[in-house]
Amino acid sequence: MSPIIERAETVRRFNRFYTQQIGVLQEHLLRSEFSLTESRILYELGSRADLTGADLCQMLGLNAGYLSRVISGFEKKGLIDKTRSATDARASCLGLTDQGRQVLATLEHASREEVIALLQRLPEPRQEELIQAMKRVQNLLGGGEPSYLLRDPKAGDMGAVVQQQAELYTREYGWNHEFEALVAEIVAKYLREFDPSAERCWIAEKDGRVVGSVFVVRHDATTAKLRMLYVDAGARGLGIGKRLVDETLRFARQAGYKTMMLWTVDILTDARRLYQKAGFRLVEEEPMHSFGKDLVSQTWAVDL
């Protein structure tokens, strides 16, 4: 089976599962006098002003004849009223009456309570995990990328940084346990000796999870060291790496450093391009054997 067919089957399995789960909510709404489609029409009318029947048909994919019958039923119940469109004399704008808004509020309350009951089956951390996964799916299928944020580290972040870097460099470059040991040592030293006036860490977060980081640490009185820049593979292409490098330079200047240096290896070409664009220059390189590989060690520096 080809990869795309396997992915399609995964989507189909998810659809079947989610349809079954959401059926609990649908059954509740169907016990009211309104169908799901009727409830959705009321919701759209309550959310936007000056909608016409044609607008609703397009938004909800409804047959014009079916929508006309629903609207007539709503009018008889006193839930909506019509006004002549200011832009098209042939069309009428639809809006909820006070009674219609009361009905909508009741439906929304019932729906919200059902969703809360569904969520409460999970502990709070799993609830948050579920919500972030839903946001991720929505953003991917919607064709846009969710925003990311840079923030200070909080409890648990450093463990995530060590784990993700070890996994990333093992997966992409085949490095061994020596690299994980080095990363863990750097993080432990940073936490033990942290000086907020001269050092800082930024955590990149996207969809509620850590996807990157960078550190500035003190090398000597006039020199800062950039350490452990990385961006998770799933978050690349958003400019996170450039933003992290820019933040380190800004902080180093504000802290009074005159120079910033960093250590890397020659095969990390994407990172090297970021450093070059930021003004770093190569000042030293030599062959080395580390992390189970033959590499070329490089030291880069930039005047601040």
**Three-state SS letters, the chain:** CCHHHHHHHHHHHHHHHHHHHHHHHHHHHHCCCCCHHHHHHHHHHHHCCCEEHHHHHHHHCCCHHHHHHHHHHHHHCCCEEEEECCCCCCCEEEEECHHHHHHHHHHHHHHHHHHHHHHCCCCHHHHHHHHHHHHHHHHHHCCCCCCEEEECCCCCHHHHHHHHHHHHHHHHHCCCHHHHHHHHHHHHHHHHHCCCCCCEEEEEEECCEEEEEEEEEECCCCEEEEEEEEECHHHCCCCHHHHHHHHHHHHHHHCCCCEEEEEEECCCHHHHHHHHHCCCEEEEEEEEEECCEEEEEEEEEEEC
Single out the residue in 81, 106, 121 at which a domain terminates.
121
Same domain, 11 and 66: yes
Return d(Cα 187, Cα 189) in angstroms, integer: 5
Tokens of 173: 């470059």
* Amino acid, res. 154: K
Same domain, 27 and 104: yes
Please identify which residue in the block is written with the tokens 């704008």: 93
**pTM > 0.75:** no
Same domain, 161 and 261: yes
Q: For position 203, what pLDDT does the model report?
A: 93
Residue 127 lies in a domain: no
Return d(Cα 300, Cα 282) in angstroms, integer: 4
Tokens of 31: 């016990």
* Amino acid, res. 247: E
Q: For position 87, what pLDDT does the model report?
A: 64
Q: For position 201, what pLDDT does the model report?
A: 95
pLDDT digits 0-9 by tens, 171-220 = 889 999 999 999 999 999 999 999 998 999 999 988 778 999 999 999 99
CATH number of the domain that 291 lies in? 3.40.630.30
Same domain, 210 and 293: yes
β-partners of residue 47 are none
Same domain, 250 and 295: yes
* CA-wise closest residue to 252 among 300, 292, 218: 218
CATH number of the domain that 116 lies in? 1.10.10.10
* CA-wise closest residue to 300 among 248, 253, 241, 259: 259
Q: Give Dmax over CA atoms of the chain in angstroms.
A: 84
Full residue range of the structural domain in which residue 101 is found: 3-121
Same domain, 152 and 298: yes
Q: For position 29, what pLDDT does the model report?
A: 54
Intervals of the chain under pLDDT 70: 22-32, 49, 85-89, 142-146
Same domain, 70 and 169: no
Q: For position 22, what pLDDT does the model report?
A: 67
C-alpha dihedral (220, 169, 146, 143), degrees to nearest 10: 140
Q: For position 143, what pLDDT does the model report?
A: 56
Return d(Cα 93, Cα 79) in angstroms, integer: 14
Q: For position 144, what pLDDT does the model report?
A: 56
In contact, 269 and 233? CB cutoff 8 Å = no
**Residues listed for the chain:** 304
Tokens of 214: 């960078």
Return d(Cα 205, Cα 154) in angstroms, integer: 12
Dihedral pair phi/psi, residue 148, rounded to 5°: -120, 165
Q: For position 282, what pLDDT does the model report?
A: 93
Question: What domain count does the chain have?
Answer: 2
Angle between helix axes 36-47 and 64-76 (nearest 10 degrees) is 80
Same domain, 98 and 199: no
